[in-house]
Structure 1
Amino acid sequence: MSLFQLAWQNFVQHARRYSALIFSLSFTVFVYFNFENIRYSSALGGLDAVNLERIATLLNVVKVVLVCFMISFIWYASNVFLKNQKKEIGIYVFLGLTNTRIGMLYAIENLLVGLVSIVAGIVLGTLFSYLFTMVFVRMSALGVAPQFSISVQAIAQTALLFSLIYGLVTLKGMWEIRRSTVLHLISAARQNEKVARRSGFLLAKALLGCATLGIGYAFAIKDGGMDVLANAMIATVCVIVGTYWLFGGFLPFLFQCLQKNKRFLYGGRRVLWINNLVFRMKQNYRSYAMVCILLICAVTALGCGFTLNNRIQAMREYSMQYDYQLISASPNQQEHFDALFQDVVDRSTLQIGQSEEQLFIPYSNLADFDIPKPEPDQCVKLAKKMMLSLYTDPSRFSTTLDGKPLECVGEVRRAVAGFMQDKMEVPIYVIDDALFNATFPEEQRLSLYNYKLADSHPDYAQTLQDDPWVEGVYIADKNAQSDEWLSTIFTFCVFLFLVFLIAACSILFIKQYNDSFEDIAPYAILQKLGVDRNVLKRSIAKECSLQFGLDFVIMSLSSFFSLLALSKIAGDPMEVVFFVSNAIILVFIVLCDLLCIRFVQQNVLS
């Protein structure tokens, strides 16, 4: 029998074991291919060149994230399967095969898995490419008709990239097999991975992990200016390291204590799943930490999507809040301008004072908006159109008026003065009415007249240009499409959320399902000894559920602070995003847990 025939036979026999890995890899290929297809095909042919170019730039950013994720995920999944294959591979030594030929056998079998994953992912991506594009267009509200288009370049690049990543991982596995001894190959799949550390050391490591997480949370919500990015980087590193230390210290410490507590251990027949978790603790806590970090990334990605989507809608309000905005040096022309317009839906007038290249508006002019009311020595800044703000401390916008210091007590990141608020090159502040009246006499003020008209209003451009009372005019362009590409950011973030979520659940599923093959013989012995089958089922369910539930609890805490940090940067509340994202993750985790329990029980107790 040739090496290829033997590898094919192994692949067919282990098809059930490989199914979870192939599904996960195929899903990754599916998503990456569809993003590539949108980039290189004519699926979005209805958009103008500027929007297409900017969407292509965003796609490149998303592709970089996906590539980094694919490398780490494939590396982890392949290592898990290699560990469990080593015992079987080691048997081939007794059949006369050298380590080199065994490595070749492993490579062929591994490449078959990769080939099936590539073909399945691209075929499914091709079949569902139109649906993917339609969902992408609908979620992004691009206003174009999606077209069915398949790019050969997208197929080639997806296959080439995945083959390269998977090929490198396979070469690493071959090298590891060639350097392994027969004893290592035989025993690798069932090595005792108990974390052999004293309780004091583990407790100290757990406390250090908690302290590091606390530092990360503190930096995440810390107010700042240009150092916000540095704070975010420190917070990210601290959360990753703290999560790893927490799982690496707290879990071994907890289960060692439970093992020593015989009353707990033997009560409710917990001895089976507790000892199983302790036996594999070294590999388990690393998997828990990786899954927890992936889930935090998923929630953060979704939070970024909602945050940026809210900011995009707020940015559009600047230009669409009013149809016409008129600047006049005369404060008493309200009736004159009212007579020019028909079908007026909304109108307002703002008094504006200018001092030292700054504009000031009295609070009473904007009292209908949800704006903090400033005291005589305070001000509120009206922000311009922006995606995110690096300045999360309002006091940094404090200013002076006629030499008198004004403390900034808030920043309004939405349109309250329309397009003029965004296009005025000087900062705009809302101040107390008494301070405004005392500082700016009536003859030194400008008046901003704002009009929102019905959709079918006439064109007043020429009339306003010829009006002697008009110093400047802004007319909203409702047909402007230059920023349509911004809407795709939310869609990209949602897709990344799903990719990270499915990857996290897949890692836990693959790990537990793959480990179950080691438990077939021990559970068979327990059944022969008379242990009730329902007891074994409950033991498996508790072991699986604990692993999924533990990650969800730690993830929820960390994601709360990550969304709180986003809320401070974007100026939008994130409570809804927190509950929605955690609810979605909980549903996924419960479904995956139930599926994992069913598959493991069938595999172990069949």
Structure 2
Amino acid sequence: MTFRQFAVNNVLRNKRLYAAYFLSSLFTVMVFFTFAIFAFHPLFFEGDIRWQVLYGMAVAGGIIYVFSFFFVLYSMSSFLQSRKKEFGLLMMQGMSTRQIRLMVFMENMLIGFFATLTGILLGLVFAKTVLLLAENVLVIEETLNFYFPLWAIVVTFVSFIALFLLISLFVSFILRTRKLVDLIKSDKQSKGEPKASVTLAVIAVVLLAAGYATALYVQGQGVIIAMLPVIIVVVIGTYLLFTQLSVYVIRRLKGSKGIFWRKTNMVLFSDLSFRMKDNARTFFMVAIISTVAFSAIGTLYGFQSYLTKNLKEMNPYTFMYSPYEVEDNQIQEHTETVEEILNNHDIQTETASAELDYFEVENSGPSEVLIAKESEYNRFAELLDEEKVDAAEGEAIVVADSSRVLIGASKKERLLDVPIELTNGELVQPDQFISSVVMPEMYSYYIVDDETFEALPEPVETKTRLIWQPTEGSEEAIIEAGGILQSQFPPGLFSAIDYSIYTINKTFGPVLFIGLFIGIVFFVSAGSFLYFRLYSDLDQDKRKFKSIAKMGLTDKELKKVINRQTALLFFAPIVVALIHGAVALTALSNFFDYNLVSESAMVLGSFAGIQIIYFLVVRYLYTKQIRRAVL
């Protein structure tokens, strides 16, 4: 048998040992190839969306490729750590350090080659599904038809063969075999009882508490100012949480006889205490990577929701015409054009027109303020099925200044302290406040009863608003008609809110799509790190549980200990990441002054659900391996 055959057989006969490394490498290749299929699609080499999509895909591909390098390098490092005893046995048989390095190089290239091929093949299988997903997320009108991605295959294959070659050379160069006796006894050497500093444990609590409190307290622009210091403080606190605080808590629990001596807790805490030293850095890395994934996707999704939902809330009228310095005959022509286009698209509407009168009001900020009469406001409220108002004679209602509410100002606006002066010199004092978008006006304004309105002086300015609110018509027709109408009028003259939201989604779609995939890559990679940590100790766990079973550990107790041990490994860093992500998304809500609870819950809940499914699968396979060794 040649040396090359020995390396190949070594991989084929140790499938379980090599499986995790192979699958993680395969996944990174498949994700990169999926991006390549998307980026090289013929559709994106035509039209206006070509450059923005290609630029975004190039950036995303670069991020995934760089991250893949470090991820595969970490996977290889963890993989080699579990093979110390094997290297020691090979050295006993006469293999030199140079030959071990050559063997590692050949094995890594073999795994990399087949991981690349398999990743490309799986990418081809799921290519159409990904293109359909992209077609909906990106909000593009054209169909992303399936095609044979020759360039994507070439780029992916060359890129990852180069990546595995570089990693193989790097690992082979830095590989140190150490002393033979250390290699042979690597799985039997005591790691020593991990020690924790009480001072550092307290500092961990203080740093995390300070970071959370600051992130939740700051508002508006203060979020941007506090972001970098909070990130630094929380990262340091997270590292100390896993390396110091967790070890300290475990030692305290072991010191409590009521807890430590209860049922199978002795087995759980004794093993956990020794393994925490190795797992602490992995926990920290997984927590930070997962937090980045949660925060990135949550921010992108939340920002899109903020733009679209907020725009719709503040502009409830589907079509609005606002003639400014337009002649009366032109207004008639424009109105007929709107009616014609709406009819051509089979859109039935309720129409309304308003003459908005602006008056000189002293000490009101802007000198010209809209004052609407009650009947006019209620006519528009009925159009939107909103609550009508009842203004008492000689009193005024202040409507929220929506533009100030957006940036975090108090809803108790300035106009509540500014009375309206009538022609007879009497003052009308505002006594109510409501938050409403019924009238097509973005600033704060007054509502007065009709008799009081007649007693006002001549308005400084009168603005006309024409509104069409659809009662029948498809969403596609409304969007298409809105695009045609906005293109036919000068900017600011006509607004079609549904088309504006469609344009935002179309522009923001590539960013959300790219961010979603990068976040998934980070999250799955974090799960792979935990998988490596669990399976690197599998042989040691088999011997441990086999010995304990001989002392009377039942099958039910065995499953209970394994469930707790596995759950702690998988969920300790993820729970920390979920808390970090929730605080980060709350800070984002404070920055926009917009409630992102539903968006945050959806993002964090989705990732938590994925992690639970991943845990159940890994726990089943892990438990099956342990029970097979014990029984």
1:24-43 per-residue CA deviation (whole Å, 9 max, x = no partner) reads 33222212211122112215
2:541 equivalent to 1:519: yes
Match of 2:323, SS? strand
The equivalent of 1:593 in structure 2 is: 615
2:103 alignment counterpart: 105
Partner of 1:573: 595
Paired residue for 1:466? none
Counterpart contact for 2:138–2:509, Cα < 8 Å: yes
Q: Establish whether residue 558 from structure 1 lines up as the match of residue 580 from structure 2.
A: yes
| Alignment CA distance shift 1:478-1:381 (3 Å) | closer
CA shift, 1:98, in A, is 1.6
When residues 325 and 161 of structure 1 are mapped into structure 2, their CA distance, relative to the original with a 3 A threshold, is: same
Residue in 2 that maps onto 1:252: 247
Q: Which amino acid aligns with 2:25?
A: L
Alignment of 1:135-146 (within 5 A): 135-146=133-144
Q: Which residue of 2 aligns with 1:541?
A: 563
116-125 vs 262-271, which moves further: 262-271
Cα distance change, pair 160–220 in 1 and its aligned pair in 2 (3 A): farther
Q: Structure 2: how far apart are the matches of 1:160 and 1:415?
A: 57
Match of residue 347 from structure 1: 352
**Residues 191-239 of structure 1: CA deviation (Å, up to 9, x unaligned):** 54456325xx1x3223222222233324434546666434223332332
Please name the residue that 1:407 is paired with: none
* Number of aligned residues: 566
Distance 1:545 1:291 in 2: 15
- Matches of 1:496 and 1:218 in 2, distance apart? 29
Shift of 1:361: 4.4
User: Paired residue for 1:502?
Assistant: 524
Residue number among 256, 261, 280 corresponding to 1:261 in the alignment? 256
Gap change, CA 1:171 and 1:445, over 3 Å in 2: same
Distance 1:6 1:472, change over 3 A: closer
**Amino acid paired to 1:141:** V
Matches within 5 A, 1:8-47: 8-42=8-42
What is the CA–CA distance in structure 1 between the aligned matches of 2:353 and 2:257, rounded to whole Å?
A: 76
**2:245 match: secondary structure:** helix
Change (3 A) 1:442 1:206: farther
Is the contact made by 2:238 and 2:284 (CA closer than 8 Å) also made in structure 1?
A: yes
Which of 462, 478, 485 is matched with 1:446 structurally?
A: 462
Do 1:379 and 1:432's aligned partners in 2 also have CA atoms closer than 8 Å?
no
Q: 1:380 aligns with which of 376, 395, 401?
A: 401
Counterpart contact for 1:111–1:170, Cα < 8 Å: yes
On the 8 A contact 2:299/2:588 being kept in 1, the answer is yes
Among 404, 409, 412, the alignment partner of 1:394 is 409
Q: In 2, distance between residues paired with 1:128 and 1:121?
A: 11
Gaps of 5+ in 1: 405-409, 422-427, 464-469
Q: Which amino acid aligns with 1:23?
A: L
Residue of structure 2 equivalent to 1:490 = 512
- Match in the other structure for 2:444: 430
Which residue pairs with 2:58 in the alignment? 60
> For residues 617 and 212 of structure 2, what CA distance do their matches in structure 1 show?
34
Contact 1:298 1:501 in 2 (8 A): yes
Q: Distance in 1 between matches of 2:61 and 2:33?
A: 10
Q: Deviations over 1:85-144 (max 9, x none)?
A: 122112221122221211111122222222222112111112221221111112333222
Kindly indicate whether residue 132 of structure 2 is the aligned counterpart of residue 134 of structure 1. yes
Tell me the distance in 2 between the aligned counterparts of 1:527 and 1:82.
30
Q: CA deviation at 1:286?
A: 1.5
Corresponding residue for 2:319?
323
Offset of 1:494 from its aligned partner?
3.2
Contact preservation (8 Å) 1:312, 1:486: no
Q: Is the 8 A contact 1:307 1:570 kept in 2?
A: no
Q: Judging changes above 3 Å, is the alpha-carbon distance between structure 1 residues 6 and 448 closer, same or farther for their aligned structure 2 residues? A: farther
**3-state SS, counterpart of residue 50 of structure 1:** coil
- Deviation per residue, 1:460-487 (Å, 9 max, x gap): 9xx9xxxxxx998426498888652322
Determine helix, strand or coil for the equivalent of 2:322: strand
State how far apart, in whole Å, the 2-side matches of 1:6 and 1:24 are.
24
For residues 458-497 of structure 1, the aligned pairs below 5 Å read 473-474=493-494, 476=496, 484-497=506-519
1:194 to 1:587, Cα distance in 2 relative to 1, 3 A = farther
Q: 1:358/1:17 Cα in 2 relative to 1: closer, same or farther (>3 Å)?
A: farther
1:213 to 1:275, Cα distance in 2 relative to 1, 3 A: same
Distance change (3 Å), C-alpha of 1:328 and 1:8: closer
Between stretches 488-497 and 116-125, larger displacement belongs to: 488-497
Q: Is 1:122 matched with 2:132?
A: no
**Contact 1:207–1:246 (CA<8 Å) still a contact in 2?**
no
Q: Which residue of 2 aligns with 1:425?
A: none
Match of 1:214 among 205, 209, 212: 209
Runs of 5+ consecutive residues of structure 2 not aligned to the other structure: 340-347, 390-395, 420-432
SS at match of 1:134: helix
- CA distance in 2: counterparts of 1:127 and 1:362, whole angstroms: 63
Which residue type is aligned with residue 155 of structure 2?
Q
Q: Distance in 2 between matches of 1:358 and 1:11?
A: 81
Partner of 2:36, secondary structure, is helix
CA root-mean-square deviation: 4.5
Judged with a 3 Å threshold, the aligned counterparts in structure 2 of structure 1 residues 54 and 358 are, in CA distance, closer, same or farther, namely: farther
Q: Which amino acid aligns with 2:37?
A: N
Give the partner amino acid of 1:159: F
Inter-partner Cα distance in structure 2 for 1:151 and 1:100: 41
* TM-score, L = length of structure 1: 0.79
Segment drifting more, 225-234 vs 123-132: 225-234
Residue 346 of structure 1, CA deviation: 4.7
Q: Secondary structure at the match of 1:449?
A: strand
Partners of 1:561 and 1:56 in 2: CA distance: 33
Change (3 A) 1:64 1:239: farther
Letter in 2 for 1:445: E
- Structure 1 position 246, deviation (Å): 0.9
**Separation in structure 1 between the aligned mates of residue 80 and residue 302 of structure 2, nearest angstrom:** 41
- What residue is the counterpart of 1:467 in the other structure? none
- Which residue among 292, 301, 324 is the counterpart of 2:296? 301
SS in 1 for 2:321: strand
Distance 2:553 2:495 in 1: 80
SS of residue matched to 1:196: coil
Q: Distance in 1 between matches of 2:55 and 2:492?
A: 37
CA displacement, residues 361-413 of structure 1 (integer Å, 9 cap, x when unaligned): 45888895999x9x9999735289xxxx9xx6538xx999xx99xxxxx9x9x
CA distance in 2, matches of 1:490, 1:50: 19
Displacement of 1:243 in angstroms is 1.4
State the alpha-carbon separation in 2 of the partners of residues 180 and 95 from structure 1. Answer: 16
Aligned equivalent of 2:73, options 56, 75, 78: 75
**Residues 128-207 of structure 1 mapped to structure 2, 5 A cutoff:** 128-178=126-176, 180-189=178-187, 191-194=189-192, 196-198=194-196, 201=197, 203-207=198-202
Kindly name which structure, 1 or 2, has the bigger radius of gyration based on alpha carbons.
Answer: 2
Q: Secondary structure at the match of 1:267?
A: coil
| Whole-angstrom CA distance in 2 between matches of 1:222 and 1:348 | 44
Once the two structures are TM-superposed, the CA of residue 252 in structure 1 deviates from its matched residue by 0.8
Query: Which piece of structure 1 moves more, 349-358 or 143-152?
Result: 349-358
What is the one-letter code of the residue matched to 2:80? Answer: L
For 1:301, the aligned partner's letter is A
TM-score calculated relative to the size of structure 2: 0.76
The structure-2 alpha-carbon separation of the partners of 1:219 and 1:117, relative to structure 1 and needing over 3 Å to count, comes to farther
Q: Distance in 2 between matches of 1:90 and 1:366?
A: 86
